[in-house]
Amino acid sequence: MSDDIGNRFNQWKNETLKAVLNKSKERKEKFSTDSKVEIERLYFRETEYLNALGFPGEYPFTRGVYPSMYRGRFWTMRQYAGFATAEESNKRYRYLLDHGTTGLSVAFDLPTQIGYDSDHPIAEGEVGKVGVAIDSLEDMERLFDGIELQRVSTSMTINATAAILLCMYAAIAKKQGADLSKISGTIQNDILKEYIARGTYIYPPQPSMRLVTDTFSWCNKNLPKWNTISISGYHIREAGSNAVQEVAFTLANGIAYVQAAVDAGLDVDLFGSQLSFFFNSHNNLFEEVGKFRAARRLWAKIMRERFGAKNPESMKLRFHAQTAGSTLTAQQIENNVVRVTLQALAAVLGGCQSLHTNSRDEALALPTEESVRLALRTQQIIAHESGCADTIDPVGGSFYIENITNEIEKLATDYIKKIDAMGGAVKAIENNFYQNEIANSAYEYQKEIESKNKIIVGMNEFVTKETIKPDTLKIDHGVREKQVLKLKKLRQKRNGKSVDLAIKKLKEVALSSENLLPHLFNAVECYATIGEISQTLREAWGEYKEI
């Protein structure tokens, strides 16, 4: 080791030790294998450093965004949950916290996602089905009853109505007497991928982007530890993209959000550290590890070279990963446990900051408590039994993985250049470029399965005749009636005049350039409903209709 590299290593080691000591949950200093082979904090060869592989926690962050990574603390173990009423979902959250989950992740039902109250005709048949029904601040109060928001990190998978749900969350924290500067969590708030892959948009792209940037600005002043957006490749991959497209389209969307914020007068080094990402962890173990490394390095370069970020925190791609729902099969559901384990391993080896593991029965229904517990135990076994977290970046320097990383970065960069040439992500979406690329990729993937060039165990090969149908979670069909009754009582007891004034002011501001979030917060605190607020914005901005 040369003197220069030796000095750099010692400097990095000292910084790492300091980072570990500052963690609330310090992990032991010495690690060894079961055979008492001592494990080093980090492995590297001088040539790797000279080739810019670098150290964890340093630009371009190929080896991880933190110096100590899992030697300091494990990733946040989240389990995405939410169904039926707020009371029932609250029981599931308490169950998960009791079994060792370290962060909550909220699933909302379809009416909540697209801005309709449970008593709206469009909501019929969907209330509480794919997530929890939230109509007002009162429902959110029930959802987090008995849970101290200052002591838990919460992720909310919500987009078109993200700003409203965030205001509800902050209002509850305020009621609890929490220090809002210490509240941590994430809202997905990634509206662009809704036009590409999911479809739960409400408004046209331009006012939707304004909601996103207004949230950036408001959180910077009021919720500084909150991740204001989770730029999502997960749903792009679920819609049928490949790994390269997932990285390229996600980062191109990220570029659009950053540019919109900069154009709105925000400093990239003030909001950049509040950006987070959400990726899929698919079946091909080594490709997925390389994908995460490539995405991290490419984003660091984009933020520094394209947007002139100076603060290293603004260049870090922090990401949540979820195992791939589209890979789960209804046939031989026990096989899904193996798939999820491999996918979770890829996310950990790739350096995720938080992780959700899907449950074995999710190809059939929302997961049972038993299945959720097994999914959580999968993460805990990887953390505590596999040895994957005993050294920082255990895969660094692998010829195979570094080559995959380089190739994915190169191919994703080529895609981003194409999107730039079209005028950016919004124009590419409006021209159906993303959608067509994803559809073609999904078609090719399906052809490979049908021709058996790609084997899906238990589905197109190694098939067995199953006679026992597993028990699945059943949602009470009376959920809507319960929600409608709650809404009726809420509207009778709240201060109707205050609600009317808050809604009127909200519409005025929606037609101006003033930040909407303070007025959304006021409407939420008056117990205006999601439907009432969303309808006000529909009247101001119109609805998006896909061509």
Could you tell me the CATH number of the domain that includes residue 425? 3.20.20.240
DSSP-assigned letter for residue 182:
G
Is the model's pLDDT at 519 over the cut of 80? Answer: yes
pLDDT of the residue at 10: 76
Is the model's pLDDT at 7 over the cut of 90? Answer: no
pLDDT of the residue at 245: 98
| H-helix or E-strand spanning residue 312 | helix 312-315
Geometric angle at alpha carbon 427, from 423 and 429, rounded to 5°: 140
**What is the residue type of 462?**
F
Report the 3 state secondary structure along 3-14.
Answer: HHHHHHHHHHHH
Q: Single out the residue of 226, 64, 230, 128 nearest to residue 486, CA to CA.
A: 128
pLDDT of the residue at 81: 82
pLDDT of the residue at 25: 47
CA–CA separation, 138 and 529 (whole Å): 9
Are 520 and 533 within 8 A, CB to CB?
yes
pLDDT of the residue at 469: 76
Q: What is the pLDDT of residues 37-57, one digit of tens each?
A: 788 878 777 766 656 688 899
Q: Is residue 464 part of a domain?
A: no
Average pLDDT, the chain: 92
Percent of the chain with pLDDT over 70: 95
Q: Single out the residue of 307, 295, 406 nearest to residue 347, CA to CA.
A: 295
Is the model's pLDDT at 92 over the cut of 80? Answer: yes
pLDDT of the residue at 471: 83
Average pLDDT of span 356-360: 96
Is the model's pLDDT at 26 over the cut of 60? Answer: no
Q: State the Cα torsion 175-176-177-180 to the nearest 10°.
A: -90
Is the model's pLDDT at 423 over the cut of 70? Answer: yes
Collapsing DSSP to helix, strand or coil, 370 comes out as helix
Is the model's pLDDT at 63 over the cut of 50? Answer: yes
* Residue 226, both tokens: 């909150």
Q: How far is CA 199 from CA 113, 194, 545, 546, in A?
A: 10, 5, 10, 9
pLDDT of the residue at 24: 43
Q: Single out the residue of 322, 375, 320 nearest to residue 352, CA to CA.
A: 320
Report the 3 state secondary structure along 125-159.
Answer: CCCCCCCECCCCHHHHHHHCCCCCHHHCEEEEECC
Collapsing DSSP to helix, strand or coil, 178 comes out as coil
Return the higher-pLDDT residue of 109 and 16.
Answer: 109
Give the pLDDT band (50/70/90) at residue 103. confident
Give the pLDDT band (50/70/90) at residue 118. very high
Is the model's pLDDT at 80 over the cut of 90? Answer: no
CA–CA separation, 135 and 109 (whole Å): 10
Average pLDDT of span 338-360: 97
Average pLDDT of span 134-150: 96
Q: Is residue 459 part of a domain?
A: no
Q: Is residue 57 part of a domain?
A: no
Q: Single out the residue of 78, 76, 73 nearest to residue 356, CA to CA.
A: 78
Are 360 and 333 within 8 A, CB to CB?
yes
Helical H segments across 386-529, by residue range: 399-421, 425-430, 433-450, 479-493, 496-510, 517-525
Residue 322 phi/psi, 5-degree rounding, is -135, 140
58-72, 295-309, 462-476: lowest mean pLDDT where?
Answer: 462-476
Q: Single out the residue of 132, 134, 118, 193 nearest to residue 166, CA to CA.
A: 134
Percent of the chain with pLDDT over 90: 82
Q: What share of the chain is helix, strand, coil (3-state, %, to 5)?
A: 55, 10, 35
Give the pLDDT band (50/70/90) at residue 255. very high
Average pLDDT of span 132-151: 96
Half-sphere exposure of 447 (CA within 13 A, CB side): 6
Q: How far is CA 456 from CA 327, 330, 450, 451, in A?
A: 9, 12, 10, 11
- 320 CB-contact burial (10 Å; exposed 0-12 / middle 13-18 / buried 19+): buried
Helix axes 369-385, 86-98, angle to 10 degrees: 30
pLDDT of the residue at 465: 86
pLDDT of the residue at 411: 97
Report the 3 state secondary structure along 256-280.
Answer: HHHHHHHHCCCCHHHHHHHEEEEEE
Give the pLDDT band (50/70/90) at residue 536. very high
Is the model's pLDDT at 1 over the cut of 90? Answer: no
* Residue 370, both tokens: 């038993």
Average pLDDT of span 384-395: 94
Q: Is residue 12 part of a domain?
A: no
Are 236 and 425 within 8 A, CB to CB?
no
**What is the residue type of 158?**
I
> Which residue segment(s) compose the domain that 431 sits in?
72-450
- Sign of dihedral through CA atoms 450, 455, 459, 464? positive
Average pLDDT of span 143-168: 95
Q: Which residues contact 221 (CB under 8 A, 6 or more apart)?
A: none
Total residues found in the chain within this entry: 547
Q: Is residue 98 part of a domain?
A: yes
Average pLDDT of span 124-129: 94
Average pLDDT of span 373-394: 96
Are 103 and 126 within 8 A, CB to CB?
no
* Residue 502, both tokens: 């808050």
CA–CA separation, 503 and 449 (whole Å): 52
Q: What is the pLDDT of residues 477-512, one digit of tens each?
A: 789 999 999 999 999 999 999 999 999 999 999 999
Are 280 and 246 within 8 A, CB to CB?
yes
Give the pLDDT band (50/70/90) at residue 474. confident
Q: Which residues pair with 108 in a beta bridge?
A: 132
Q: Is residue 413 part of a domain?
A: yes
pLDDT of the residue at 472: 83
Residue 476 phi/psi, 5-degree rounding, is -60, 125
**What is the residue type of 209?**
M
CA–CA separation, 544 and 547 (whole Å): 9
Collapsing DSSP to helix, strand or coil, 364 comes out as coil
Question: What's the number of domains the chain is made of?
Answer: 1
Q: Is residue 148 part of a domain?
A: yes
Is the model's pLDDT at 17 over the cut of 90? Answer: no
CA 420, distance to chain mean position in Å, is: 25
Q: Is residue 50 part of a domain?
A: no
* Residue 385, both tokens: 């039994």
